[in-house]
């Protein structure tokens, strides 16, 4: 059973990282977008295995649904073709070196840092009995009331800004 | 051994680095934007993995807020790109030099 769990994790992680590589290597922006949707679905599967089903649903609805539809809509609206094949530039090797160093650093931090479980109140059993959505809702409307309201104002500003930017002739 | 929190964080670190490579190398502004979404998602995975590991729900609330900011960013960013394309007929990041004297 544990072997199966590990196998499942590695398969999903492999698909997530492969589609992540495809996002940055595909010539056509549409293909990058489809690969990004695949990555989002793999992350949603991770959220389910981490006992956060509400987050998985939100991930699929907001990211794979709303944001990616918006991005693909804009790509098709602007009628962008595939980019021409650029020759190997120094910027590419510089970026790979910088990202590789950053990855190395993060891996060292992950290896050295020891996060001990503090035995907080939220265990898988509690999530299953009370319901994840209910727990999130309670936390959101009691402890995190102010951030929630600020987020709603941010969304309002974003709506107004998007309409104004896209409407007028700049 | 069951899958531990370190496994999830390693996957998250790899996805974040891939996003960084994309942001630094791609020239199409929409692909750069998608790579930024990839980096945000990598951080979300870290938040939820640690939240589940620590038995604390706060990280998941922050994931909700990150998703809100990402949605706002998508709306405003794509509107900016449409306005820029109308102006310049291109969304290559090397043409983003309107502020240059």
CA neighbours closer than 13 Å in the CB half-sphere of residue A25: 8
Residue B6: closest C-alpha in chain A:
A110
Residues of chain B with pLDDT under 70: 1
| Residue B55 at interface with chain A, using a CB cutoff of 8 Å | yes
- Going along chain A from its start, the domains and CATH numbers come out as 1-82 (1.20.120.1200), 123-170 (no CATH)
Q: What's residue A83's pLDDT?
A: 65
Location of structure tokens 């998250």: B12
- B90 at A interface, C-beta within 8 A: no
Binned at pLDDT 50, 70 and 90, residue A167 comes out as: confident
Q: In which element (H, E) is residue A103 found?
A: helix A90-112
Res B46: pLDDT: 94
The more confidently predicted of residues A157 and A168 is: A157
Q: What is the pLDDT of residue A85?
A: 57
User: What's the rounded Cα separation, in Å, for the pair A54 and A156?
Assistant: 24
Residue A82 has pLDDT above 70, yes or no: no
pTM: 0.90
* pLDDT value for B97: 82
Q: What is the pLDDT of residue B71?
A: 92
DSSP state of B92: B
Q: What percent of chain A has pLDDT over 70?
A: 92
DSSP B28: B
pLDDT category of residue A19 using cuts at 50, 70 and 90: very high
pLDDT at residue A166 in the model: 82
pLDDT value at position B93?
A: 82
**pLDDT computed for residue A87 by the predictor:** 59
B59 and A136 Cβ atoms separated by less than 8 Å? no
CA distances from A7 to A14, B11, B14 (A): 10, 15, 19
Give the Cα separation of A47 and A101 in Å (integer). Answer: 28
Q: Please give the pLDDT value at position A169.
A: 61
* Interface touch B27/A63, C-beta < 8 Å: no
Q: A48 or A119: which carries more pLDDT confidence?
A: A48
pLDDT at A128: 80
Q: Which of A58-62, A74-78, A110-114 has the lowest mean pLDDT?
A: A110-114
Contact of B63 with chain A, judged by CB distance below 8 Å, is answered with yes
Contacts of B66 in chain A (CB under 8 A): none
Contact B13 A107 (CB under 8 A): yes
Q: What is the pLDDT of residue B3?
A: 81
pLDDT for the residue A88: 63
State pLDDT tens for residues A94-128. 888 999 999 999 888 888 887 777 677 777 778 88
The Cα A22–Cα A150 span in angstroms is 36
Domains of chain B: 5-92 (1.10.287.3510)
Q: For residue A15, what are the contacts with CB-CB under 8 A and spacing of at least 6? A: A38, A42
What ipTM goes with this model?
0.92
């Amino acid at each position: 059973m544990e072997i199966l769990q590990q196998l499942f994790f590695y398969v999903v992680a492999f698909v997530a990282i492969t589609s992540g590589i495809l996002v940055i290597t595909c010539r056509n922006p549409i293909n990058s977008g489809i690969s990004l949707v695949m990555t989002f679905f793999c992350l949603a599967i991770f959220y389910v295995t981490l006992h956060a089903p509400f987050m998985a649903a939100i991930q699929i609805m907001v990211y794979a649904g709303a944001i990616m539809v918006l991005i693909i809509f804009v790509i098709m609206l602007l009628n962008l073709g595939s980019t021409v094949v650029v020759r190997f530039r120094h910027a590419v090797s510089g970026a790979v070196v910088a990202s590789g160093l950053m990855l190395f650093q993060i891996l060292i931090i992950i290896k050295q840092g020891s996060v001990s479980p503090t035995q907080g109140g939220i265990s898988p059993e509690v999530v299953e009995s009370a319901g994840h959505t209910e727990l999130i809702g309670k936390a959101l409307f009691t402890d995190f009331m102010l951030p929630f309201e600020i987020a709603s104002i941010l969304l309002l500003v974003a709506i107004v800004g998007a309409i104004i930017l896209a409407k007028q002739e700049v | 051994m069951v899958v531990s929190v370190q496994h999830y964080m390693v996957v998250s670190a790899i996805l974040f680095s891939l996003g960084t490579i994309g942001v630094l190398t791609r020239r199409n502004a929409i692909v750069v934007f998608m790579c930024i979404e990839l980096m945000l998602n990598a951080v979300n995975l870290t938040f939820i993995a640690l939240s589940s590991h620590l038995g604390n729900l706060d990280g998941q609330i922050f994931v909700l807020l990150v998703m809100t900011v990402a949605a706002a960013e998508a709306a405003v960013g794509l509107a900016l790109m449409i306005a820029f394309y109308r102006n310049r007929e291109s969304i290559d990041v090397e043409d983003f030099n309107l502020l240059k004297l």
